[in-house]
Amino acid sequence: MWGFFASDPQLSFNEDGEARLFAWIGQEQFERNPDGSFTQGETKFYPFKMFRRSAEHAYEKFARGDNFVASGHVQKFSYEKNGETVSGEEFIATHIGPDAARTSYAVDRGRSRSQQVESAPIEAPDPTLSQQPSPRPMTL
């Protein structure tokens, strides 16, 4: 899933202290024209949910208008309101990050590569020695 936050993310906690993030997200629709250009269609909006620690991280990092890419699944829902059944679909995210195609961002990798401890070099096997077959099959 890709899109943008159409509302400010809201963070709440259940009775067990587990975090729940809710927001409305938008997904712009485009149609390719015969000449290769694109025409923007009507934006579609969906409820967006995320849970536990991932929800807390997303709440700290994202705000209304931010573009994102996320993985997860679509879930159908229905409930009664004023005597009528309301149904639809919502996106339940498990992972989320900035949309690299639409967002400028910096990655903090912690220690710089020059500060990391170098591991011992791995030596290549000696090609002059005969290679013995593995005593048992290997599964990769």
Q: What pLDDT, in 10s, does the model give residues 106-123? A: 777 776 555 555 555 667
What share of the chain has pLDDT > 90, as a percent? 66
- For residue range 34-67, list pLDDT tens digits in order: 999 999 999 999 999 999 999 999 999 999 999 9
Asked whether the whole model's pTM tops 0.75, one would answer: no
Residue 134 counted as domain residue: no
What integer best gives the mean pLDDT of the chain? 85
CATH number at residue 87: 2.40.50.140
In this predicted structure, the answer to whether residue 134 has a pLDDT above a threshold of 60 is: no
Residue 127 counted as domain residue: no
In this predicted structure, the answer to whether residue 129 has a pLDDT above a threshold of 80 is: no
Please provide the DSSP assignment of 66-134 as one string. -EEEEEEEEEEEEEEETTEEEEEEEEEEEEEEE-TTT-------SS-GGGSPPPPPPPPP-TTSPPPPP
Domain span at 42: 2-31+38-103
**Average pLDDT of 12-41?**
94
Question: What Å distances lie between residue 115 and 13, 109, 111, 112, CA to CA?
Answer: 39, 12, 6, 5
What is the tally of structural domains in the chain? 1
Residue 119 counted as domain residue: no
Residue 91 counted as domain residue: yes
Q: Give 77's pLDDT tier (boundaries 50, 70, 90).
A: very high
- 8 A C-beta contact, residue 57 and residue 9: no
Residue 117 counted as domain residue: no
- 8 A C-beta contact, residue 93 and residue 1: yes
C-alpha 6/C-alpha 46 separation (Å) is 9
